[in-house]
Homo-oligomer: A and B are copies of this chain.
Amino acid sequence: METRPRPGTDLPDRLAASVAHAARPVEEIAAWLDERRQANPSTVERVPFADLAGWEFAPDSGDLVHSTGRFFGVHGLRVRTDYGHRPAWEQPIIDQRDVAILGIVAREIDGVLHFLMQAKMEPGNVNTVQLSPTVQATSSNYLRAHKGAPSRYVEYFVDRTRGRALVDVLQSEQGSWFVGKRNRNIVVEALGPVEPHDDFVWLTLGEILALLRQPHLVNMDARTVLSCLPVEPPAAGGEGASWWSGPQVRSWLTERKAAYALAADYLPLASVAGWRRTADEIAHDEGRYFKVVGVRVSATNREVAGWSQPLLEPASTGLAAFVMRRIGGVPHVLARADLRPGYRDVVEVGPTVQCTPDNYVGRPASEWPAYLDLVLSRRVRPIYDVMQSEEGGRFHHALTRHLVVEVGGGFPLGTGPDFAWLTLGQLGELTRHSYQLDMEARSLLLCLRGLTAASTPTVRTGGSR
């Protein structure tokens, strides 16, 4: 009989050991990122659409597309839904049918799991270079549609004999900006030695979690992949420690996914109501939501030396906030079943509040998202409040305030049907399968793990192995 490779069943213990191990201070790693930024100079320049080499507005629809039909396109979308206060609207949206690999190579060093992180330039980053997955490439990239160099280390995610998958799951991205987007979130433990490279560094989970206490060091793609690691052991603290049981959580989410109607249909970008196109941008008539702009990029350490592309530029800073409350001594967050027009499965679990607060300026308070006023008020105690970046390969200076606020035991446990109190272990459980926990909630989950790690400063070395 053939041999059967078996992933270890002690993964949560090994991850806990990696969380507990943080030899290098944040300053040292940030200095290394600075050094890589200077070693690999790049420029990003705003250009009119006419100067975006390879891109064009399709003659019939006005959609912004690449001449090869690859990479991604900007289309129009007509949305009708019975969720929220707006029954219908039209908007531009990014359509990217390519599945990206967001892949991290892992390896034990001195008995502790380390993760190979990349100092990667993306044109939309506020600080050009952030700590990124080992590989972050769409199939247009790793199949080399751009005719450039292959993505470094991509063989670990294409050739199954190179390692074993610790995590391998498709996840969504921003459902208001992408339609049907899904990425392969994958961590592969290498079976043999891994060749070093100047732009890559081996970090423990503890070191990465410490970096999350600073803004804009760990990019969105790294945050989503790492959030899917089963850090919390199954049924952490016993099933009884959570307010709801696992089957109750699944039933709640199924019911919410079935509760709302959503029709999201393509329409020509040229005919999207309320938006206008100039030589330099596609923007909302009132300046709300976002713009689509063009950039020309030159880089010294990417697969190709220079390229042009559109980017989506939000009009304002986003907010992703969890309300946290202890129930029976166990931290729970108030999660929301959130409908977005681009989600493949209509509704995913998001933070308590996820919005762009400036979009509500001048609107009646009755139309504000639930709990927005609470999380911004003095009635709550912020325990995490750090600005983080969305993906710089598609978004220009897209910043999201990551906020966790704690409320006391007097805070009511009863909620509306779109809300549920979940433990960190239950959030982690939702990441095991596709399209259940949204991008921003996954990002906050990872930040919360950093808080938990920091509040239990017991350093274990070596863990169970």
Contact = CB atoms under 8 A, between A and B. Distances in A.
Interface of A: 1-2, 4-7, 9, 97, 99, 101, 139, 165-166, 168-170, 182, 184, 186, 239, 243-245, 247-248, 250-251, 254-255, 257-258, 261-263, 265-266, 327-328, 344-345, 413-414, 433-435
A168 B254 contact: yes
A251 B2 contact: no
A250 B99 contact: no
A345 B255 CA distance: 19
A165 B254 CA distance: 11
Nearest to A436: B433
Contact of A344 (B7, B328, B344): B344
Contacts of A345: 170, 182, 344, 434-435
Given A4-B243, A6-B245, A97-B263, A250 B169 contact: yes
Contact of A184 (B97, B243, B258): B258
A18 to B, nearest CB: 18
A258 B170 contact: yes
Contacts of A4: 243-245
28 contacts: A1-B413, A2-B413, A4-B244, A5-B248, A6-B245, A7-B245, A7-B247, A7-B248, A97-B261, A97-B263, A99-B258, A139-B258, A165-B247, A165-B248, A165-B251, A166-B247, A168-B250, A170-B254, A170-B258, A184-B254, A184-B255, A265-B266, A344-B344, A344-B345, A345-B434, A345-B435, A433-B434, A434-B435
Contacts of A344: 344-345
**Sorted from nearest, which 10 A-B pairs have the closest CB atoms?**
A168-B251, A99-B258, A165-B251, A433-B433, A168-B254, A184-B258, A7-B247, A6-B245, A170-B254, A169-B254
Copies of the protein in its oligomer: 2
A429 B228 CA distance: 19
Specify which of A170, A251, A257, A263 lies most central, judged by the most chain B CB atoms within 10 Å of its CB. Answer: A251
A245 B4 CA distance: 9
Contacts of A165: 247-248, 251
A101 B250 CA distance: 16
Contacts of A255: 168, 184
A182 to B, nearest CB: 8
Given A97-B261, A166-B247, 16 more contacts: A2-B413, A7-B247, A7-B248, A99-B258, A101-B258, A139-B258, A139-B261, A165-B247, A168-B254, A168-B255, A169-B254, A170-B257, A184-B254, A345-B435, A433-B434, A434-B435
Contacts of A413: 1-2
A443 B454 CA distance: 49
A342 B365 CA distance: 41
Given A258-B99, A263-B97, A1 B328 contact: yes
A172 to B, nearest CB: 11
A408 to B, nearest CB: 15
A387 to B, nearest CB: 31
Contacts of A6: 245
A261 B96 CA distance: 11
Contacts of A245: 4, 6-7
Contacts of A262: 97
A328 to B, nearest CB: 7
A263 B96 CA distance: 11
Residue among A101, A166, A250 with the most chain B CB within 10 A?
Answer: A250
Contacts of A250: 168-169
